[in-house]
Amino acid sequence: MRLLTALFTPRRVALVGASDRAGTLGHLLGRNLASFPGEVVPVRSGESLRDVPGEIDLAVVSVPATAVPAVAADAAAKGVPAMVVLSGGFAETGPEGAALQAELVAAAGATRVVGPNCFGVQNCDLPLNASMAAGLPLGGGGICLVSQSGAYGMAIYTLATDERARFAKILAPGNTCDVTIAELLGELADDPASATLCFLLESLADGRAFVERARAVTPHKPVVVAKTGRTAAGARAAASHTAALAGDTAIGHGVFRQAGIVEVASGQELLDAARALDGQPLPAGPRVAIISNSGGVGVELTDLLADEGLTVPELSPGLQERIRAMLPPFASPVNPVDVTPVWSRFAELYPALTDLLARSGEVDAVVPVLLQRAALDTATAEGLRDAVAGLRADGVAVPVHVCWVAPRDARPNADLLAEGGVPCFDWPARTARALGHARRYALARARTRPARPAPARRTGPTPTDPVGLAAVLAELGVRTARSRLCRTPDEAVAAAPPGVPAVVKLAEAAHRTELGGVRLDLRTPDAVRAAATELLAQGPVLVQPRLDGVEIAVGAVRDPQFGPVVMVGLGGIWVEVLGDVAFAMAPLDRAEARDLLAGLRGHGVLTGARGAEPVDLDALADVVVAAGDLLLAADDVVELDLNPVLAGPAGAVAVDWKVGTTATACAGAGSGATL
């Protein structure tokens, strides 16, 4: 039986640890499973799964931790496809718990294990509530949630009920001892009922597999991720809670963006993004129309939308005239469309303006702001709901998101809209963020494509000397500066390039600039001799021609979560100070590498800012591609540093190149003959 079927649509469920004693987990689970349309078989203390007649599709386990491995062995002997272990006391508690968890996995054999230390599973449509939660969110929607936070799995019931969000499936994988986050993504991606896939993560041990699968999913379904443990304190809390280490935040941001994943900052923002993506069409562009009865709220929302990369354009004169004919005196048709506090006409104006703007072809989304009396008026809410239904019936794919600024007693009207498929977001900030996520996903869906094949594997150790490493880089298409290692001033003078200024620098220092180990623009033999004499007191020197270009740092590292990852940064030796960097998972193609470069804040420096000649972006992108390819081709390479790479109109040249392997520390262009 397929894992997804066993977890969410089982025919028979065994509740191991069933109890009639109120206040126990076994009793709570028994009550929650009472609505399950299939058969629930209670397995009480002293009883065994092996003795249950007939097949069992899913075992829900709530016995003490020390008893769980024996239950797993029973499930394996019985041929149970999957078990959900809610019991705690495993790897999250320390080494002894980790050993018990390993015993659980070994005993389970072919039985797949969700958990332990988890909240459980829910299918809101079946219904199946094999969880600790007091109830199920509304069914009939396409939102699926995988939450490593069991508390959030329980809290989502309240939040979803308050926001009238409709869910399909919810699962909390706990310690993920067997069934992984990436595997769950793959299962849900193939589920027709699961349209918007959400993940609240504390750790991501299988990060590369997750991103690779997400990359295949996001062109068809949105994948939304809220990753906690971003700060040092948060990472410590996550490790103690899930027995996992947090990864590098900047790398995570980069690879998520590359895969088309919608990344959010909190659980609330995750739900907002999910409602925006699941309830309405995607915005085809950045243009937003605002309808409000308050100029101040309209201006605030305009600013917040701009922060999300969206615009509130002035409408055309013709469209303004059509709107002006509908509005009372002193109202504004420009955008935001301010209807003024004409309370008696709200039920007429809001639906009519929403319909007109959505059909105008001048905007890509419409945001009616329902403020105070507009929100309190049920006729206005009903009119908006019906107007949006009419747009969908006519195939008008312009999303409508309501910005809700209203008192608590107006909430039934927000529920009316949400139940009609029109999401409402409290306050302008939440509205702007949700719409921004929808737009970014629309762009990502069009941009994301399958990864190119990885390069062929290299055999033998990767050379770390400058001659050998330069040759390997040349095979990958990376140009390196002509260099010569010198140990005497005479050698340095002889190595100086004719007709161009020379550079003399320490050969073996990791951070030459900070050590004062670089001398630039040496135009005479005497200048080369003086620089070499001074630096040779600290070790051998390299002599190179001085090259011009925009300084770019290009690197690659073998990340423990995501495997080979490339980095680009503006500023060369100043990259750490400027912090203008971007990451992506290898392999990349040229278009992806150019997209990575375009994400730098200083990208304009590369494209001809202030009259400068643009650099050869294709050549620079090829260097980025090659950096990732080296780590994919050579298993012994753990780090590559090309810094700086000088980019100009005629191409890109690495001036310094260093490699770290499993056999050596990071070594640079520091010994050898002419390169």
Mean pLDDT of 7-34: 96
pLDDT of residue 663: 83
By CB neighbour count within 10 A (0-12 exposed, 13-18 middle, 19+ buried), where does 427 fall?
A: middle
Provide the pLDDT confidence category of residue 673 given band limits of 50, 70 and 90: very low
pLDDT at residue 651 is higher than 80: yes
Residue 675, pLDDT > 80, answer no
In this structure, are residues 27 and 19 in contact, taking their beta carbons and an 8 Å threshold? Answer: yes
Mean per-residue pLDDT for 352-368?
98
CA distance 653 to 151: 52
Crossing angle of helices 181-189 and 207-217, in 10° steps, is 10
Q: Is a pLDDT exceeding 60 seen at residue 419? A: yes
What pLDDT does 511 receive?
62
Q: Average of pLDDT values for 293-311?
A: 95
The winner for highest mean pLDDT among 49-63, 199-213, 548-562 is 49-63
Closest CA to 617 of 596, 640, 587, 643: 596
For residue range 39-65, list pLDDT tens digits in order: 999 999 999 999 999 999 999 999 999
> Residue 552: enclosing H or E segment and its boundaries?
strand 550-559
Distance of CA 172 to CAs 153, 267, 465, Å?
7, 14, 50
The pLDDT score that the predictor gives to residue 510 is 62
Looking at residue 106, what is its pLDDT? Answer: 98
Residues of 242-259 as b/e, b for ≥16 C-beta within 10 angstroms? bbbebbeeebbbbbbbbb
Q: What is the pTM of this model?
A: 0.90
617, pLDDT greater than 90 = yes
Region 189-214: what's the mean pLDDT? 94
pLDDT in tens, 139-164: 999 999 999 887 777 777 887 888 88
What would the pLDDT profile of 492-526 be if each residue is shown by its tens digit?
999 999 989 999 998 876 667 667 889 999 999 99
pLDDT digits (tens, 9 = 90+) for 303-316: 999 999 999 999 99
Of the chain, the percentage scoring pLDDT greater than 70 comes to 94
In this prediction, residue 513 carries a pLDDT of: 67
Q: How many Cβ atoms are within 10 Å of 656's Cβ, its own excluded?
A: 23
Q: What is the pLDDT of residue 248?
A: 63
The pLDDT value given to residue 426: 95
Say if residues 427 and 405 touch (Cβ distance below 8 Å).
Answer: yes
Domains of the chain (ranges; CATH) run 3-277 (3.40.50.261), 281-447 (3.40.50.261), 482-545 (3.30.1490.20), 550-661 (3.30.470.20)
Mean pLDDT of 331-355: 95
**Burial of 192 (C-beta count, 10 Å sphere; 0-12/13-18/19+):** exposed
Average pLDDT, the chain: 91
Mean pLDDT calculated for residue range 659-669:
70
For residue range 471-498, list pLDDT tens digits in order. 999 999 999 999 898 999 999 999 999 9
pLDDT 10s digits, 220-267: 999 999 988 654 444 434 433 322 223 468 899 999 999 999 999 998
